[in-house]
Amino acid sequence: MHLRCVDCRRDHAPALLYQCGHCGGILEVAGESGLEPPRDAALLFSMWRHAGRLAVTDPRHIVSMGEGLTPLRRAPRLEASLPGFRGEVWLKDETRNPSLSFKDRLVSAGMSKALELGARGVVCASSGNAGASTAAYAARAGVPAVIVVPAHTPAAKVTQIAAHGAVLLLVEGHYSRSYALARGLAERHGFANLTTTFLNPWAVDGAKLVGLELFEQLGRAAPDAVLVPTGSGPLVKGVAQGLALCGQQTRLVAVQAAGCAPIARAFEAGQDAVLAWDVPRTIASGISDPLIGYERDGTYTLQLVRNSGGLAVAVEDDALRQAMRDLARLEGVYAEPTAASPVAALRRLLAERRLAPEARVVCMITGHGFKDGAAFAEMPARTHRVADPEDLAAVARLCDEALAENAAAEKD
């Protein structure tokens, strides 16, 4: 087991490396540890039941809080709301991870390998979710953590990071500024960098178990397409890589916000290389990554999408808000704007006939609505003030009227 450059294919010995020493390319893990299945019952009910597929060679270094094995649920009411749709929609609910986002998979894998390689602390640049995950897993492992986030990061994510006792740095401007600062701090302190772009290959390797889970949960079959919220793209790679381990493939759909869509822009223009975005403007903070200084990440994701026969698409904020409502009111899933982006993209792609009406589709729901409650708070809430709770007849009439309004609104 070693590291390999995805561009020049040079091999590197296992270490805390973040780019190819020969060409500066992205590194990935080549090979697997072959570790025996864990005896710890808690690990058996996490992604670490597949410990042999990951890179940790000594189980004493595994840092886990039960990540992975998240539900995959059919979404029949959402399906019924899609005009002309005859296929299947499945929701991979990553909000059920310990810190409420899919980032726990990457952080658990990256943290565990970092400790095995002798790291004495961790640094992470984040738009919120990876920072919260890194802070939580650092607390679990008992190692110091420095988390760097944009100053405009949603308050709930900032609060979650701070609760775990990490050193929290708020940086003015877009995410790429936080990314650059975290790289510098990691080098200065000698800490492992757990930033969850393609920077840390050991962390990215943890994402492949998503694809493997999809295969298992769909009855040992691949879906026709998987729609993935995408900043730089490691989850896109994880889905593809995990399915490939099972001898399967799917169409990958990288979903971005229209206010920050460097990969979708390059796809639509037929370009081979992704160029950095200027200033992100979107409510989807989790994917508002302009890729400034690491455009190579976007180009790699673009290649993965094209090689799968898939596509990259950008969705407007209004479509994100509608998708959030659809998930909450039709399927009971409380998702932040980023996590709702696949549902917004699904409606658009079906309307544009870029997805077949009989397709079997998986939407990756990557982060909980509690991560960014402000986005829901800005939406009109149907609340009804009760003046006299002892007047049961009046309250019952109020309920009847409200139920009728809800039913009419659902039909619309």
Is the fold of 72-100+207-377 the same as that of 103-200?
A: yes
Integer Cα distance of 355 and 311 in angstroms: 10
Please tell me the predicted confidence (pLDDT) of residue 409: 74
Which pLDDT score is estimated for 31? Answer: 94
pLDDT at 412: 63
The CATH architecture one would assign to domain 72-100+207-377 is 3-Layer(aba) Sandwich (3.40)
CA 235 → CA 140, 241, 287, 366, distances in Å? Answer: 24, 10, 12, 10
Predicted pLDDT at 77: 98
Could you read off the pLDDT tens digit of each residue along the chain, which spans 412 residues? 899 999 999 999 999 999 999 999 999 999 999 999 888 888 999 999 999 999 999 999 999 999 999 999 999 999 999 999 999 999 999 999 999 999 999 999 999 999 999 999 999 999 999 999 999 999 999 999 999 999 999 999 999 999 999 999 999 999 999 999 999 999 999 999 999 999 999 999 999 999 999 999 999 999 999 999 999 999 999 999 999 999 999 999 999 999 999 999 999 999 999 999 999 999 999 999 999 999 999 999 999 999 999 999 999 999 999 999 999 999 999 999 999 999 999 999 999 999 999 999 999 999 999 999 888 888 877 788 999 999 999 999 999 998 998 888 777 6
Q: Please tell me the predicted confidence (pLDDT) of residue 59.
A: 95
Give the start-to-end residue ranges of the domains of the chain.
1-31, 33-62, 72-100+207-377, 103-200, 387-412
* pLDDT given for residue 38 in this prediction: 86
The candidate with the shortest Cα–Cα distance to 196, out of 149, 151, 156, 248, is 149
With beta carbons less than 8 A apart as the criterion, state whether 294 and 199 touch: yes
Closest CA to 256 of 215, 222, 290, 225: 290
Q: Which residue has the tokens 């790291």?
A: 119
Of the options 3.20.20.140, 1.20.140.10, 1.25.40.10, 3.40.50.1100, the CATH number for the domain spanning 103-200: 3.40.50.1100
Q: How high is the pLDDT of residue 377?
A: 84
Other Cβ atoms closer than 10 A to 8? 11
pLDDT reported for residue 326 = 97
Which residue type, as a one-letter code, is found at position 148?
A: V
